[in-house]
Chain A
Amino acid sequence: MNLSWDSWGDGYGASVDIEDGPSSDRSGDVDEQVERKLGDWEAIAPPDSVTPPDVVSFVDGVMHNDARGWLTDEAGDAHPVLAASYAAGVVRCDRRRGVAEVTSALVERALLSALPDATSLGTGPARYVAHRASRDVAEHLDRDLSKLLVALELKASREAGAGASEDELLVVDGRLRERRDLSNTVGYIKTQHSNYLQPAQVRVVTTMPVGHRTPVFAFAGLFSWYLRLPGPAGSPWSGIVRVECSDRVEAADAIHLADLSAVTLPGYASRAYKDPRAPQNLIPIAGLERRLRGLLGDSRLLQRSLRAAVR
């Protein structure tokens, strides 16, 4: 077997929002009447009695394609290979102590290929563990890598969830997925690819003032709501994020979580001059991503080590 790398480097450090498939309209299977009747849909300001929790934890992951290449087997067939580094971590923001600390940071590296007998590559901190890809197509390698990252994020979330106390809030960047059993946990979706609401309700979303949220709606085993983060007024969807939680809790608890998120998350919104993805890219998550990217290592060094390993 012969492994060779493409000489063109891959892009570096794009954080990945793990979203399902293409933009789609899923308004059909949504129950909009969890909190309000359809006719009563309006922007809701969280009540004054709800105060942000002292401790909020955020979970996020980053990945980077270090090199793409080809694995040639004995028969002479070439199979695409992807070497990538990915990391997931938790940042715990304790407003009482005024400390935001990265409580866990997991870094892994993977060598993805469809060949069953591909071996791990490299040594020491730059060891790429062989993973079997689902299909022998270059595009699918990226998708499989995303799944690996989601699995790592799940691991980090569980670590954070295990150490959390009752009144802590855990915010997961992206969809909840298999984390529905964690209590006080919400998924935080910053880009809206799918539409879940009827046109009348969409109007409520796009005209919502800052700090308000929509009524809670339910779909696919989740409660969800939209809220608007503070930021410059611009397009109708500026500053809009969707937040979701598991439907294993009562509807009333989901509504409380919705209020809680509406008073908590605006405090973490980023500023446009500091972050091009403001305000949706929350400050702790941006900081965590920077730290995780630092832990991924220098991409040029990793490429060099990969090339050296097959020489």
Chain B
Amino acid sequence: MIGRRVFSTVSTLLACLALFIGLLPQRAARAAEPQPKTPIKHFIVLMQENHTFDNYFGTYPGADGIPEGVCMPVDPADPASECVEPFHIGNRPIEDLDHSTATALNQYNGGKMDGFIWALRLRNQEGSLAMGYYDGRDLPYYWNLVDQYVLFDRFFSSAIGGSVWNHMYWVAAQPGSEENRIPPEGYGDDVITIFDRLEERGISWKFYIQNYDPTITFRTMDQGGQRAAQVVWCPLLNFPRFIDNPDLFSHIVPLDEYFTDLQNGTLPSVAYIVPSGASEHPPGSIRAGQRFVKSLIQALMRSDAWESSAFMVTYDDWGGWYDHVPPPKVDDYGYGFRVPAFLVSPYAKRGYIDHTELDFTSILKFIEENWGLEPLAERDARANSIINAFDFSQPPRPPVFIPEERVSEEQRPSPRRGVIYSAYGMGLVLAGSVIGWAALDSRRQRSADPVYPLRRLTRRRRRSMTKRSRGAPDE
């Protein structure tokens, strides 16, 4: 009897405990989440596609941009070859330049960096387009953004190759496979990602994908059609352990959730974002890409998470475009050419150009240092962090909505205020002088009037009479 009572009491308590835990799983998990070492509680990183630093910021003032006098030979082997100087692309039509590993190596040309046109001609492309660049007229939002926050001008793609390797470096600090393609069986358990580390430590994370189709993974990419590229942008879709584990798989979500998470205050500690239509991959619209990035950053700025967050934007590979800085050789895979990268955060240094040598694993390095995680591989262990871009001694900067128009000083002429002051001052003086002249003339006229002294006398007499009449009755 007693045993049954004890059993029923214990069962009830256990049930209540289970119910409590079931009702508050997130709160319990959050309570256990390790605190970051810096004020950055939310780190968001977006990877766009296929541009070099010189292609986007080669003429940005103060950055290590396109050098004077550059002229790229059409055939580097021929000293008499004609050459192409860098030129502003503007509204010219562009094409998707070849960006295979072979092309990258030909363009690199053993470190001479003179094969940018020739390598593309080997792929039956005209190649001159590689020397084109954009500037503030084409990228007003990005240029305005880096005016206020941080631009990295020595940020290299991790591998001298295409998207697959570089995306893998972005999440795992290693290429994942020897070929720049997804293995048919996916990546094995020996490839550790940053999300494994975060999961182990109970740190919240999400991988947001624009236009996400959860049915397309490395197993189904052949039937994925145009949407199959999402497995390249999100390497986690190539890991059996991530797609077969419902809990882990639930961290890969459509981009819509980014906005609702911001609204609901449920933004995870680490968020990776990949685009689909607005990735800026040539010949896609760079303006559409800017709008996309703007929508993400503005949404963050409007949320409560802004004060404790950092938003990083970078590009997965060079896309076939010219860049003048030879990438340092750190191992068999990299570095690749420089890519654009910039950081937006309330703690970011203002209008700062960071010259620290960085690559995609520098992002991992920051996450690891901020949340106290072990390095994933040798690359991230050796990489520099992006920490230099922050100034944590300053109070968090209030959000600023960066405009999409870039107005130069020539376009916004400031009127010469001195002219206005002088002109209107002179007008007043002139009018005052004429009116004063008239008044003086009138006074002079009155003085000359023989009746005037009598009037003055009468006025005086009248005044004294009035005073007297108050004291004594009139006679």
A binds B: no
**Interfacial residues, chain A to chain B (CB-CB below 8 A):** none
B interface list, Cβ under 8 A from A: none
